Structure 1
Amino acid sequence: MDVYCGIDWASDHHDVALVDHDGALLAKARIGDDSAGLQQLIDLLIAHDDTEEDPIPVAIEASRGLLVACLRATGRPVYAINPMAAARYRDRYAVSRRKSDHLDAMVLANVLRTDASAHRQLPRDSELAQVIAVLARAQQDAVWDRTQAGSKLRSHLHEYFPAALEAFSTRDGLCAPAALVILASAPAPEQAAKLTRAQLRALLKKAGRQRGIDAEAERLREAFRRPHMRQLPLVEDAMGRQTITLVRKLEAACTSADDLAQAAVESFEHHPDAQIITSFPGLGSLTGARVLAEIGDDQSRFTDARGLKAFAGAAPVTRASGKKVAVMARRVKNQRLAAVGYVWAFASLTASPGARAHYDRRREAGDRHTAAQRNLFNRMLGCLHHCLTRRTDYNEAIAFLAPTTPDIAEAA
């Protein structure tokens, strides 16, 4: 007898429902979010003929967490059902739109009973791939936090300290160590204008600068002493105190991003797929770690390149109704993989003649810059799926050659 399990996830407890192949309720329970609750769930599954050879599949509205991790460790199929999809299924069992935790658990179990093939189970990634996913996603979050903190500081300085924006208009901008050290020491225009050459040299050395210290100190001194619009003195002091707080947040975000980047790269370089991924133009160790974090190393996750392209949002969506047909960019996608995809495509323009030629062809055909980049990302994902499946490195001559074999055509 086929048995299906649905779990309505919550923060401190979970509702469990087991149904048979006819949809009849076999058992229900409410378990705690602890080891005792997990053991109660395992005992309930074992009582309904759960075995290692034929484990009972589980549907849950979460893709991560301790409960999901423990269920995946048992080797059973775990399906993460999108809450929006589960809400649509609920209307099939409750036209009155009633809702309860027990009903949601039953709905999830019936989703597997009727439409398991329409949903993808969580990939069985290796432990190292899961480590890379944690570190790469945390590093990406830290980069976004750094960008947000830098934007807040820039907006704040624009209100009362334009000389600082002019002084730190270099490539690293306000994230540069010298900018953070000097702003922490002189957060107000009056304080910055009083800095002497010797003090500026000392601050630059404290920030780690080793070359061109005298010239940089002179440039900063002139920038701070140029006439600019000013706030009232007491207002400047108050805004300077706020600047110190914003500088501390930005400095913490910069440190976190750098530390996590180093940890992610170290873990990624020990993975067997690292050599294949970094053989692609435009992909380094950090961006490669981000790619691996999202696609994983479970070779059965994507049966073909089209699934990977759709997952990344590189493949377009066709909407047809009657005589109307519209081809649109995909909105529902893995946002993290899509974000690194544009970085990958942009970097490959200077690293790969074939990628550059492909991008130029799309631009000449009428695509805008973003659409041409997305199309190039789509092409690269096909090549990546081909290389990972065949366990071979990237080959420029094959990747951008007219397809002559089914394998190459599929990769393109």
Structure 2
Amino acid sequence: MIYCGTDWAEKTHDVVLVDDSGQLVAKRHITDDADGYRILLELLTEHGDTQETPIPVAIETSRGLLVAVLRTGKRKVYAINPMAAARYRDRHSVSRKKSDPGDALVLANILRTDMHVHRPLPDDSDLARSLAVLARAQQDATWNRQQVSNQLRSLLREYYPAALAAFEPWRNGLCRREAREVLKVAPTPSRAARLTRTQLQAALRRAGRERSIAAEAGRMQEVFRATWAHQSPLVEEALGKQMLALLVQLEAACTAADDLAEAVEEAFPQHPDAEIILSFPGLGVQLGARVLAEIGDDRNRFTDARGLKAYAGSSPVTRASGKKSSVSRRWVKNDRLNHAGYLWAFAAITRSPGAKTHYRRRRDHGDWHASAQRNLFNRMIGQLYHCLQQHELFDEQTAFRSTPAKALEAA
């Protein structure tokens, strides 16, 4: 059997083939373009790669055009963690020498000796992969929007507290279009104090507001014309220009997050697993898409629910040595799925009587809020695994049957 290791880079890649005995069979240095990919596929075919018996490939990434080309057909591609590859490198050389062809050889030998303990990339459908791109991009855009919003809020606290007070009653204050339109016409507190109700109403209408326009304009005018501390005029004008620059970034971040959210809402219902995922309490379109993006739709990806729970970081990990042992939370996990699980469990507490009862029992048992919520997520993601495997919708009575106290303590 032949094994392939590929050390990727931005412009060129090193490819190494070894046999069962570890002997070097072939070595190539290819470019990162269509010609290089063609040479790679021809090299694999030359050494026995077919649809029935594809050559497995190890690489230190799971993304990019090179990985997409290698995943054609039934070929298994193993994304080896760079830290794991570094540990394997020490097995072959104690001098700590390093080279790109040497790294490719290490990756090939990882498959030759320990392929059974590494997991190939899941065989997800194209629809699931496209949803993963959209859901992750929307999540990144949301995080970026919050980061820019925090920067803007910090800047306004330095010279413009009236704006924060005016937008405080609104949910998602600075991220709302009304707040951004008002800040455009009044970047400094001095200009805000001179705004008329007509100007404020016009700004609210441009933002798309349709109700309580006159009342909101009157409220904001009172806030802006109240007594506030001020910076010197020159400093205030400079800070206003800095605020407008941040406002442009926030406008772009909000637009990107909204556009990607609409794309997710259009694509997610088309997936066959969407109905099952949305049947769970606490999972809407956006959060359900994030969960599907991380677990995929390959039913053979996880051998059992415990594997999925460990991947999500919801199940505890035990560390034992001699007479000492400790049980703690997992630090190595899928951070995106773990973050989605936190929001999922938080929302499920108010939408599912069984989830709320389970959470309260864990709190009464002595768990902190985060620990009890993680325990609830651990239970619900196991239920999701079962429903996806059996093609069943969530059922409240089946999911949260009355559990004896002893069984709860052992959970």
Q: Same fold (TM over 0.5)?
A: yes
Letter in 2 for 1:62: T
- Deviation per CA, 1:199-256: give whole Å up to 9, x if none: 1111111111111111100100011111111100000000000111111111111111
- Deviation per CA, 1:144-166: give whole Å up to 9, x if none: 00000000000000000000010
Which residue in the other structure is 1:245 paired with?
Answer: 245
Letter in 2 for 1:265: E
Moved over 3 A (4+): none
- Give ranges in structure 1 of 5+ residues lacking alignment: none
Structure 1 residue 403 displacement after superposition: 7.8
Structure 1 residue 74 displacement after superposition: 3.0
Which residue in the other structure is 1:347 paired with?
Answer: 347
Distance 1:114 1:98 in 2: 21
Distance 2:371 2:10 in 1: 41
Distance 1:50 1:4 in 2: 10
CA RMSD between the two structures: 1.2
Distance 1:262 1:299 in 2: 28
Distance 1:321 1:279 in 2: 43
Q: What is the SS of the residue equivalent to 1:116?
A: helix
In structure 2, relative to structure 1, the CA distance for the partners of 1:3 and 1:402 (3 Å cut) is: farther
- Give ranges in structure 2 of 5+ residues lacking alignment: none
Letter in 1 for 2:7: D
Moved more, 66-75 or 266-275: 66-75
1:333-344 maps to which residues of 2 (within 5 A)?
A: 333-344=333-344
Which residue in the other structure is 1:142 paired with?
Answer: 141
Distance 2:402 2:315 in 1: 20
Which residue in the other structure is 1:94 paired with?
Answer: 93
Q: What is the SS of the residue equivalent to 2:71?
A: helix
TM-score by length of 1: 0.97
Structure 1 residue 47 displacement after superposition: 1.1
1:47-86 maps to which residues of 2 (within 5 A)?
A: 47-86=46-85
- Deviation per CA, 1:382-402: give whole Å up to 9, x if none: 000000000010011111125
Distance 1:344 1:177 in 2: 27
Q: What is the SS of the residue equivalent to 2:393?
A: coil
Count of residues in Structure 1 that have an aligned counterpart in Structure 2:
405
- Deviation per CA, 1:138-184: give whole Å up to 9, x if none: 00000000000000000000000000010011212111111000001
Structure 1 residue 289 displacement after superposition: 0.5
TM-score by length of 2: 0.97
- Deviation per CA, 1:297-341: give whole Å up to 9, x if none: 010101100111111111111000111111111011111111111
Task: Confirm or deny that 1:33 pairs with 2:70.
Answer: no
Letter in 1 for 2:218: E
Structure 1 residue 265 displacement after superposition: 1.6
Which residue in the other structure is 2:204 paired with?
Answer: 204
Task: Confirm or deny that 1:227 pairs with 2:227.
Answer: yes
Which residue in the other structure is 2:129 paired with?
Answer: 130
Q: What is the SS of the residue equivalent to 2:9?
A: coil
In structure 2, relative to structure 1, the CA distance for the partners of 1:16 and 1:402 (3 Å cut) is: farther
Which residue in the other structure is 1:10 paired with?
Answer: 9
Letter in 1 for 2:112: R
Distance 2:47 2:72 in 1: 20
Which residue in the other structure is 1:111 paired with?
Answer: 110
Q: What is the SS of the residue equivalent to 1:269?
A: helix
Q: What is the SS of the residue equivalent to 2:270?
A: coil
In structure 2, relative to structure 1, the CA distance for the partners of 1:111 and 1:163 (3 Å cut) is: same
Letter in 2 for 1:197: R
Which residue in the other structure is 2:385 paired with?
Answer: 385
Letter in 2 for 1:374: R
- Deviation per CA, 1:32-79: give whole Å up to 9, x if none: 101111111111111111111010000000010000011112320000
